[in-house]
């Protein structure tokens, strides 16, 4: 007998009842364990729902303030840090990275631009030498190896998803300019002043309220082998060097580390607030974080192409702006092709649509098998736009 779907808590404006229905269906029909979704329209919260379980044994209920690791949904806040510095005239996105990080010029990278880091076009999607989980958790080890390595392709010509390296690349530039690692910079400039429950990593004091990630339902070994056989060396480096998943993300070492591309922790409400800065054209809750011009620049497309790392997972070409993915013809972030956002490995999502004035945050702990466009997320996005 299937288990009864959990009670859903929070509030949802009547106009957005379809979002609540989709959220409930995620539990009944799409194997959701614990999750939350939040939506803002013109800065006002219209959906704030949560339900299910924070652990695989179903002993802890998902609460209003339950944070969870959101994987690459973290990349939006990291990009925000760089754009704040650029908006203040402290960082030139068209300057070579080596202007701020001289060691980075090694191995033919002297012409790699800051914008190439933001748009996954630097050719540094993964390291060529073996890089362990412990190495990834060590900031200096990871950034020094990235500075020394050579690109997998000619920088600036194509995008190739920098799954784990993105946060160290952009984050080291943030550190060189501001003196702060991106987690500390984000807290000082954004999440602290705005009271947003999101951080890079997770303080030990908050471990007891955090949700535990749960493995995706596995595919067969033959199916996995077929997928990996199609990956290029660059894609293998990006996605498996090191290979990380739920087991690693539940450890104290992961939560204590600075891995800005992948170990952001927060609530759905926090994700909606951070992406709401972009949908609010730089402002949130009466606070201006970016100028309107800087907020618009975030979605400045850098050219559509079949991504060199994720290409096999999409039907056609995709396009990345200066830190976030454009919805484009795939409709990953709704029907507005210029809406934008970022998905996290296994399902989570942050979405911004300035034309509609909408932001969405979705977080969960049972991971799906997709890097992007998880069916649960897509059901919520489709329900949101049906209500607008």
Catalytic positions are: 72
Q: What are the percentages of helix, strand and coil residues in the chain, rounded to 5?
A: 40, 15, 45
Residue 102's contacts (CB-CB under 8 Å, 6 or more residues apart) are none
| Among 161, 177, 141, CA closest to 311 | 161
Give strand ranges (E) for 118-235: 198-200
With helix as H, strand as E and coil as C, how does 299-325 read? CCCCCCECCCCCHHHCCCCECECCCCE
Residue 57's contacts (CB-CB under 8 Å, 6 or more residues apart) are none
- With contact defined as beta carbons under 8 Å apart, do 117 and 166 qualify? yes
Residue 105's contacts (CB-CB under 8 Å, 6 or more residues apart) are 96, 98
Residue 103's contacts (CB-CB under 8 Å, 6 or more residues apart) are 144, 147, 148
Q: How many residues are listed for the chain in this entry?
A: 388
Question: Following DSSP, what letter does each residue of 10-69 receive, concatenated?
Answer: EEE-GGGHHHHHHHHHHHHHS---EEEEEEEETTEEEEEEEEEBSSTTS-SB--TT--EE
Helix, strand or coil for residue 116? helix
HSE-up of residue 342 (Cα within 13 Å, Cβ side): 35
Query: Is the Cα torsion angle 42, 326, 196, 37 positive or negative in sign?
Result: positive
Widest pairwise Cα distance in the chain: 62
């Amino acid at each position: 007998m299937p288990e009864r779907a959990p009670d859903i808590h929070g509030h949802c404006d009547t106009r957005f009842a379809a979002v609540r229905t989709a959220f409930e269906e995620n539990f009944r029909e799409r194997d959701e364990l614990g999750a939350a979704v939040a939506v803002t329209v013109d800065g006002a919260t219209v959906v704030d729902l949560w339900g299910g379980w924070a652990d695989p044994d179903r002993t802890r209920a998902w609460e209003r303030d339950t944070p969870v690791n959101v994987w690459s949904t973290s990349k939006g806040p990291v990009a925000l840090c760089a754009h704040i510095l650029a908006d203040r005239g402290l960082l030139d996105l068209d300057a070579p990275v080596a202007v701020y990080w001289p060691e980075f010029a090694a191995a033919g990278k002297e012409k790699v631009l800051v914008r190439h880091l933001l748009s996954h076009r630097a050719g540094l999607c993964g390291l060529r030498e073996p890089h362990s989980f412990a190495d990834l958790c060590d900031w200096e080890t990871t950034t020094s190896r990235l500075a020394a390595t050579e690109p997998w392709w000619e920088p600036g010509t194509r995008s190739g998803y920098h799954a784990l390296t993105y946060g160290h690349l952009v984050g080291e530039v943030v550190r060189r300019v501001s003196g702060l690692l991106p987690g500390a910079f984000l807290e000082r400039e954004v999440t602290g002043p705005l009271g947003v429950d999101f951080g890079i990593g997770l303080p030990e004091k908050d471990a007891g309220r955090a949700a535990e990630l749960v493995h995706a339902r596995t595919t067969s070994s033959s199916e996995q082998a077929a997928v990996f056989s199609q990956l290029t060396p660059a894609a293998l480096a990006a996605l498996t060097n090191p290979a990380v998943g739920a087991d690693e993300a539940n450890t104290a070492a992961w939560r204590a580390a600075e891995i800005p591309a992948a170990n952001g922790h927060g609530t759905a409400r926090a994700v909606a607030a951070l992406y709401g800065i972009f949908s609010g054209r730089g402002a949130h809750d009466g606070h201006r974080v970016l100028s309107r011009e800087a907020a618009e620049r975030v979605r400045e497309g850098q050219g559509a192409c079949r991504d060199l790392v994720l290409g096999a997972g999409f039907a056609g070409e995709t396009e990345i702006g200066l830190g976030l993915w454009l919805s484009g013809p795939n409709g990953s972030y709704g029907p507005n092709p210029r809406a934008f956002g970022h998905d996290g490995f296994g399902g989570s999502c942050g979405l911004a649509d300035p034309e509609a004035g909408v932001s969405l945050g979705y977080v969960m702990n049972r991971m799906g098998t997709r890097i992007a466009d998880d069916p649960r997320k897509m059901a919520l996005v489709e329900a949101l736009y049906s209500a607008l």
